[in-house]
Structures are given as structure tokens and as C-alpha cells.
Amino acid sequence: MSEDNLEYVAKQTKRIIDARDEFPLQPIVFAGSGLSRRWIGAPTWFELLDWAIKNCPEIKQPIQFYVQQETDLPAVAKRVAAEYQSWAWGAGKDQFPSILFESNVPQEIYLKYTLAKYIKSFGTDVAKNYLGEGEAFSAIRPHAVITTNYDSLLEHILPGYQPILGTGLISAPFANIGEIYKIHGTVEKASSLVLTTEDYHEFAKKRKYLTAKLLTFFAEHPIVFLGYSVEDVNIRKILEDLDEAVGIKGGLAKNIFFVTRPTEAEPAYERVLQVSPKQGIRVNSIEAHSFEWVFKAFAHNAPLANVNPQVLRSLLARTFQLVRSDIPKQKMEVDFELIAGKTGTKEKLAKVFGIGTLQPVTEFSAQYPYNLTSIAKALGYTYWYGAQKLIDKIKNETGVDLKSFDNLYHGTIKMSEKSIAHMYSEAALE
């Protein structure tokens, strides 16, 4: 993998951290098919339909035949789905479970069932060359992920996150956190796949409601588009709806980042996403051979790093129901004076939920007073990545990873059962 320009990395890392400071809530990630192609070798949509055509012995023409006759790939998928239905009810019947032959089953289920099995065959384990990216992405601990991908890669990368199918985002009654919105369906439920022309028409009817739900995300969170082409129709439609609702005019949308592989000799700092023939939106552009430094910048001091998202979802859901439903309907007695006394400050409120502030041991703090950012600043860098590069250099030259164990230069604090904080000594600075 080619190296990214260090000056570009430094400037874009600072831009990400500045956006994190201005929009302090956890990032929202839009994940497209490019991520699955990169990490698990998943096929493009064209390749997926091409495989399906070659897999069916009764289809005699190649995919190019259908592409010539149809306007887009959903229309091709509709044609292929009809061919699969004929095959399934004839010579291919033993390839499908008996439940798929009931009268109320839609005709495209045979193609969707076959594609779901094929996509599952690619697994969910990130390729060895990209393991660092996968770990760095997981460390972001995004507030939520919205994806058009069918596979289960994201559920594997983000353990504890809850997959939500289709338009579940619309009906969710509380401020969700730690969820993966699979708006085009999942291989775990083949019938949910948004694949044919009719599927996309149904999705389009509900897309504006989806966008309305996303408005609060765009107003309060850093937004990261990853694995999408700048021409991707799904992203263009969502941004078009967003622009129509709030009127993103003129200046740079500082909290929106579009991450891609480099396309030109000089990587771009900004780009215009054309959402309609007459309207474009200026966003941050990050072009990188390695996404690891990008993810590390978004993950820097991520406040959810030490928190189980399942616990947060449960906490939010129960509190929301209590305040919005149970108390107003007088389903339980409420001592308002007691509540006022226990929730007067965020520290008191945290204790109500069994949450306390973690304070490191004084002796340890004296020996390891620096985190990575303060080490970097003491060395003259403006961001943490400068110090991390030096640690990586030591590892590459000596084979010793200072962060892998406690030593004279580095110590760890256990923040939870699975999470630690890295701290550094005066000796490390010297």
C-alpha cells in the first residue's frame, strides 16, 4: 500500500479533530459497498448479478445482453429474478428450501436467497492487509452506522452494535446509539434485500422520512461517508433531500467528510458533491491510500471507547419510556423532590445510573503524566499523530512496541473490563 503525504495527513488530521471539537457527539458513518470490497473482497453489484447469471444453468445470455436492454441494474435484477423463479420451479427446485414455494412468497425470493448465500461465502473477517484499518474503525465507536451493504461485516467489526433492518430508523422511538441501520436489507433475511426496480420504488417512497430522521444527525454529529463513489445515487438522493429540507448553501459543510482512495496526483482537501443538476454541496474530502490514520483521527479520545453500546441503548430506551410514557400516564408513583435532588448536576445524575468518574491512582499519574496528545504537543506537533509516528518508527526499527506492555516509558490504566488508556512518562518525552 502506498504511503500518504505526511503534510496532507497532518492538515487533514487537524481538520478532523477541529470538527470533533465543534461537533462533540460521536460520528455517524455512512458505509458503502467499497468498504466490503476493500476488506473482504466482496463483489460489486455488477459482479454480483454477473455471478448470478452464470450460476443459473437456464440463463443462456451474458449480463451484457441484459444491460443493453435495460436502463439500470435494478431492472436487470428484475429480469434475472424472473429467470430464477422459472428455474426454481423446475430443474433447480432442490436448490431452495420448501418454504420458498408457498403461494404468498414473492417471485424474486429465489434470486435474493441465492445472492444472500453467495455474499455470506465471503465471510466477515477483514483481510490481513487491512487489519489495522478494521481495528482503527472499531475504535471510532460511532454513534450509529448507516449502510446500504447487505453483508454482516459491520456487525463483526462493531461487536455489541444492533443491526436495524430497512426503515427501522424511522420508527425508532428514542435517541438511538450503537446501532447499524441496514437500509437496503441484510443477508440474514434474504427477503429484505433492496434489489429490483420495485424494491427501489418502495424504498424511494420512504426515503424522505428516513432523511427527516437523519436531520438531527447532520446538525449535531461529524458525518463520514466511506466506501461510496461521489456519483453514488443513494448518497446523492439523501443529500438532495437534506438540502431541500435545510438549504445547505454556499459555504463548506464542516462536519461532513467524504473518504475515498486517491484519484489525482495531488489529494483534494474539499470537493463538491453534485446533488442535483443545479445544486452542489461543499464537503471535506479525504483521499488516502491507508484509512488507518483517518479512523484514528476520528477515534481520538473517543468517549464511547470504554462503554458497552448495549448498556447505552438499554439506558436510553428505559429512560425515554419512563419520562415520555410511564410517568405522564401515572403508571408509577414519583417523588419529584427526590428526583430533583438526585439529578441537579451531571455528576449526581451519573450516580443514579451507577456511573462514576474514573480517577487514576495519584502515584501512577505522577509517573505517567502525559497522554499521546500532550506528548505530541510537547514535541512541537499540533496533533497526536506526530507522536504516534515516532512510536511506530521505534517499533519498525527495533521490533519493540512500547504500547504493548507497561514499561519505563508507557503505562496503562484499566478503564473497563476490555478497555485501557495509554499514558506516558517524562522518560518517554525525553
Q: Is residue 311 part of a domain?
A: no
Q: In this structure, are 238 and 158 located in the same domain?
A: yes
Q: Is residue 85 part of a domain?
A: yes
| pLDDT for position 360 | 46
Q: In this structure, are 222 and 258 located in the same domain?
A: yes
At 234, the pLDDT band (50, 70, 90 cuts) reads confident
Q: Is residue 395 part of a domain?
A: yes
Q: In this structure, are 82 and 109 located in the same domain?
A: yes
Residue 8, pLDDT > 50, answer yes
Exposure letters 166-197 (e unless 16+ CB within 10 A, then b): bbebeeeeeebbbbbbbbbbbbeebebbbbbb
What is this structure's pTM?
0.73
Q: In this structure, are 112 and 200 located in the same domain?
A: no
CB atoms within 10 A of CB 17: 19
The pLDDT of 330-340, averaged and rounded, is: 56
Higher pLDDT pick, 325 / 38: 38
Containing domain of residue 83, as a range? 45-120
Window from 231-235, 265-269, 329-333 with minimum mean pLDDT: 329-333
Q: In this structure, are 198 and 227 located in the same domain?
A: yes
Higher pLDDT pick, 169 / 398: 398
Query: Mean pLDDT of all residues in the chain?
Result: 83
What backbone torsions phi and psi does residue 195 show, to the nearest 5 degrees?
A: -135, -45
Domain end position, chosen among 89, 120, 151: 120
- With beta carbons less than 8 A apart as the criterion, state whether 411 and 368 touch: yes
Domain end position, chosen among 299, 332, 352: 299
Q: Is residue 187 part of a domain?
A: yes
Percent of the chain's residues with pLDDT above 70: 78
- With cell 491510500, the residue in question is 289
Q: In this structure, are 89 and 185 located in the same domain?
A: no
Residue 175, pLDDT > 60, answer no
Q: In this structure, are 30 and 58 located in the same domain?
A: no
At 331, the pLDDT band (50, 70, 90 cuts) reads low
User: Mind spelling out the 3-state secondary structure of 183-235?
Assistant: CCCECCEHHHCCCCHHHHHHHHHHHHHHHHHHHHHHHHCCEEEECCCCCCHHH
Convert the pLDDT of each residue in 22-47 to its tens digit.
888 889 999 999 999 999 999 999 99
Q: In this structure, are 16 and 141 located in the same domain?
A: yes
Q: In this structure, are 131 and 208 located in the same domain?
A: yes
Q: In this structure, are 195 and 276 located in the same domain?
A: yes
Distance, CA of 172 to CA of 183 (rounded, Å): 13
Q: In this structure, are 194 and 78 located in the same domain?
A: no
Q: Is residue 396 part of a domain?
A: yes
Grid cell at residue 127: 483481510
At 301, the pLDDT band (50, 70, 90 cuts) reads low
| pLDDT for position 315 | 61
Domain end position, chosen among 104, 120, 136: 120
Strand partners, 163: 180
For the chain, the domain total comes to: 3
Q: 3-state class of 426 per DSSP?
A: helix
Convert the pLDDT of each residue in 154-164 to its tens digit.
999 998 898 98
Q: Is residue 210 part of a domain?
A: yes
Q: Is residue 417 part of a domain?
A: yes
Q: Is residue 282 part of a domain?
A: yes
Q: In this structure, are 244 and 182 located in the same domain?
A: yes
